[in-house]
Structures are given as structure tokens and as C-alpha cells.
Structure 1
Amino acid sequence: MSRPVPAQSTGDTWRFDAIGTAWEIVADAPLGEKTRQRVAAVIDDFDAAWSRFRADSLVGSLASAGGAVPAPPDAAAMLDAFVELSDATGGAVNPLIGASLERLGYDAGYSLTAGVPVAAPADWVRALTWHDGILALDRPATIDVGALGKGRLVDLVADVVALASPGGFVVDAGGDMAVRGAPQRIGLEHPFDARRAIGVWEVTDAALCASAVNRRAWGDGLHHVLDARTGVPVHTVAATWAVAPTAMRADAIATALFFDGGPRLAHDWGVEWVRMTTDGRVDWSPGCRADLFRREASVER
């Protein structure tokens, strides 16, 4: 995925676990108890709204019965971006992919027992609505915002940390990170060997997000990156990295790059990217400023 090498700050370091991943916040200024409480509250609120692993979350209630709930503050920003992702990838990215993940064993109980894959509803934009402060589903379905949700949460946490450490900080949520202030050299972890990197990317006042098929993987060829049109894990791309002004957009492009149309959306959004295919080939966006140790191709589709 991605790792700071090293994080270049000596102020305060805070490590904790949340939403199923390890977090590290490195700030130039001390992070007081009030700041930590605000960060915890932001994460708790996001999880209570969007976690498909919680029966008591808003999306959990929609999964069991459909209907309508008050829309979380993030609904428009995230679901509007999903429309662009879905359009760009020909429907391969879809927020109703949750049932497909559950069928393959990535469910609330982490059964990791694969059943028969199922495609996500192709008419998701009609089934799922987010207007006038209401989030609604016209049928029971499982919303999964994993294509960009962690990036959105990194942005929200970064907004809180910025108030306490205006001089600079790094928010790192399992390799998806926001950087403010001093440049950070971030290693791009090789998807087939975590001891190696395929390059280093210097990031300043931006976000870097990554996705890889070796993370959240189980069984024979099973992992969390599915093609919503089939419900089957992708098998051509092994890892992706994207740098954008916001972590949500970087996270979204890191997902889109697993599919045809991802590079074009990245171009439209002004996002730089790198990706590695399962046969070891590396390509990147024109003008990409990552320092790659092995440059074999440069492709924009």
C-alpha cells in the first residue's frame, strides 16, 4: 500500500485502531485531549452512519428493510462521486456492492466462507436516492462506500487535526493519508512483497491513497476489490496509488484504476496515479511525479 519513509515531524504521534485499520497521526504541535476526543467523535459518527458491519448503523437498517433514514452529512459528497465513478467504469464501481462482498465471505461476522458471487444492482442510481436530507433505498440492499469512504474519513479527521496543528501533520489510516505542511516521502509498497517498494512519492499538502489485492484478501483469489457487474474479484490489476487534493478523490481514483475508464476519470479530476498489474507491469499518468524504481510503460486510457 503506502508508507511514510520517514514521517518528518517531531511534535506529537498518536496511534490507534478504528474502522478495522491502524491509524497514525503525526503532528507538528501537541494533540490535546479535546482534539483527540473530536477525532474519536468524527470517526464514531462516520462508522455509525456508514458501517455495513454494524446492524445498528444507518446503512445497516437500510440493508435489512430498505426505506428511508436521515441522510448523513457525507451522503451527497460521496454518492455524487459514486455516480461519476460508476459512469466512468461502465458500472464496475457501485455502492450497492455490499451484498456481493457478503456472499464471498467478507461479511459482518468475517466468515470468509465464499458462496456464489452476485452482481450488484445495475439500477443503483434509481434504487438509492439522497435528496432533501433523506437517504433512501426502494428495496433492501447493502450499501458499501469502501471505494472512497476511508478517504472521506481521512479528510474529516484531517480537518480536526488542522485546527490543533496548523503548521503541519500527517493523518495515515492504513496507508491512505493526508499530508499538510512539510513534504513527506512515501514508499509505494510492492503488492507481492511488503518488504519492498516499487517507488517513492513525495507528497506536499495533498493526499495519497492506495489499494491492493493483497489487502483484505482471503481464500483462493478472493479479495475486496470486486467488479460490481459480476460480483467477482478483479484479477488484472494488483495495486494502485493516487495523489489528489483530497483523500476522498485519491481513494476514489485508486479504486477506479482497477477498471477501464479509471485513467480517464483521473485525467478529468486532475489526479496523478500509478498502478501495477498482476503480471508486474507498472504504468502511470502523464507527468506523474512519483520516483518509480522501474519504469516500463506510461499509459493513459
Structure 2
Amino acid sequence: MPHPGWSLFGFEGIGTRWEISTPDALAAGVRNQLLGTVSAYDEVWSRFRPDSLVSSLSRSPGRITLPDHACGLQRVYSALYRLSGGRMTPLIGSSLERLGYDAGYTLATSGSPQAPPQWEGTLEWTGRELMVTKPVVLDVGAAGKGQLVDLLGEVLRASGHTDFLVDGSGDMLHAGTHPVVVALEHPYNPKQAIGTVELANSALCASASNRRAWGDGLHHVLDGATGRPIQTTVATWTMAASALEADALATALFMMEPGPLEDEFEFSWLKVSSAGAATYSAVFEGRLFS
């Protein structure tokens, strides 16, 4: 939790709650920059609004030019698509919509689960340039909120704030000389915690199947090979230098073993299986309750 006495700036954006904590209150200009950053990100990446940049690709094939931050997103997604054998993919949007997690939040399936198109032959993404050969529903939700956390951190640093905590509903970035202790939410009871971790000058992100769940066994973490919700893992937490990587890796841990991820990314992790077993990395510096 933020330190007592710190100033809190809270707002809604991209369908989630944001809280930014700083020792001193943020100036109006900085607050406007933060709100503008969230709004601009939504205008590019949201699959829930028909006027977003990526939504144009759901209506017809074509090419779009993305903001500079797309380069980092592309690098992470490309690596995780390769490492997971296609199970983690930005093309998962069509599978989510089929199960009811669509722009209208119908939460009603329109058919049995279906795998999304393969990246190969469908998507060409190099840095800021993205092209698709047929209409697709892009969804970067597995890493996008984390990247937005980082972008808000950049706004704060550019305005002279060196101590802060950006919290996008559990995806966090901390900076400064005052570490914070964060509770790890119980995957089956959000009012309880299974442990705590100290966050200091790094990012902490979580992924849980109970956060966006509906119907019988339906939730938002889908296997890109089948289009089905993953049932073997219920929650993951990751800590890394950036929230972009932490967020993406938290989702990737639902789909694959951590070893190959640890070979290419520097991060620590905690994973809870549907059987209730907790496993964690050798460098995970958290405390689990008995």
C-alpha cells in the first residue's frame, strides 16, 4: 500500500481503476498529461471501441502506423509467441469475442471455442508498422495495461517526480526510496491474501482467471492454440524492471513452463495451480502465508 500521507490521484481509464501515489500532490498539468496518455493509448489499441486504430483492421485487411511505444510491445509479443509455440498471441481477440468477451460485453457464447488465426501469413508487425492480410481482432490486453503503467511512469519522471507508485488495478510500477509492501490477492477470495511482496524500483503484475470470468469455466486467459480458457493455472505474479514485461510474462506463465521464459527475460514469479499448489522462482522475494 502507498505510504501514509502520500497524495493519491485516482481515475478510471481503459475499463479499469487507476491510482497514482506521490509524496506531493500532482499539478493539474501533470494530471492532464496522465489522463491524456491513457486516452491516447485507448484510441490506438482498444478492441472495444469502433473508432480505435486497431479496430479498423477488424473490418478489412490493411496497414496501420502505430506510435513509438508499439516497438516495445512488438518485441515482447514476438518473443512470447515464439517461446509459447503460438499459445500467446495478439490475435486472440476473435476467440475472446466468440466466447462472449466482446465490445458489447454480451458474455454469451456465439459458438464453441475456436483458435485464432496464426501469426504467420496473417500478421506482419515490424516496430511501428503493422499489416494484416485479412480482417482480424487484435487484442494486446496481455501486455498493454502493463505498458500503459510504464508510460504513466515516464510522464511522472519527465515532470520531475522520482518517488511514485502507479497502480493499474494490481499492475504496479514503483520508483523511489520508499519501498511498498503489496498483498497478493487470494485467487478464490479477493478479500484475502496468500502472501506479501516488497516492491522497490520495479514492476509487479498479476494475472488471474477470476478477474474476468463468466459462464461455466469461461474467463479471459485463453490458449492461443485452441481458443479455450486455460484451466490448469488460476493466478500468477511476476516482478520485472518494466510493467510491460511483467504483465506479458504473468500471462505467459498460464501457457507454458517458466524455464524458457527465464532464459530470455529477467524476472521473478509466483504461480498458483488450479489444484492449489504454489510454485515460485528461486529469486522470488515474497512471503507466502501458511
The equivalent residue for 1:189 is: 185
Q: Which structure 2 segments of 5+ residues have no match?
A: none
| Secondary structure at 1:153 match in 2 | helix
Q: Is the CA contact 1:76–1:130 (under 8 Å) kept in the aligned structure 2?
A: no
Matches within 5 A, 1:18-167: 18-115=13-110, 116-122=112-118, 124-131=119-126, 133-164=128-159, 166-167=161-162
Number of paired residues?
288
Determine the structure 2 residue equivalent to 1:299. Answer: none
Residue 229 of structure 1 is matched in structure 2 by 225
- Find the residue that maps to 1:232 and give its secondary structure: coil
In 1, the alpha carbon distance for the partners of 2:172 and 2:16 equals 13
Q: 1:98 to 1:132 in 2, by over 3 A?
A: closer
**Is this contact kept in 1: 2:74–2:126, CA < 8 A?**
no
Q: Percent identity?
A: 42
Q: Per-residue deviation at 1:286? A: 1.2
TM-score (norm 2): 0.95
* Offset, 1:45: 1.0
2:201 paired residue number: 205
The amino acid across from 1:176 in the alignment is D
CA distance in 1, matches of 2:280, 2:264: 15
1:178 aligned to which of 152, 173, 186: 173
Pairing partner for 2:276 from 280, 297, 300:
280
C-alpha separation in 2, matches of 1:103 and 1:263: 32
Range moving further from structure 2, 162-171 or 208-217:
162-171
RMSD: 1.4
Give the alignment partner of residue 214 of structure 1, picking from 210, 215, 218. Answer: 210
* Matching residue's letter, 2:272: M
How far apart, CA to CA, are the structure 2 residues paired with 1:209 and 1:143? 22
Structure 1-normalised TM-score?
0.92
For 1:204 and 1:143, the matched residues in 2 are separated by 33
Deviates more, 1:252-261 or 1:103-112: 252-261
Residues 71, 127 of structure 2: 8 Å contact kept: no
Kindly state the Cα deviation for residue 44 of structure 1 after the two structures are TM-superposed.
Answer: 1.1
Shift of the alpha carbon at 1:178?
A: 0.4
Give per-residue Cα distances to partners, 1:222-242, cap 9 Å, x unaligned.
000000110000000000000
Q: CA deviation at 1:268?
A: 2.8
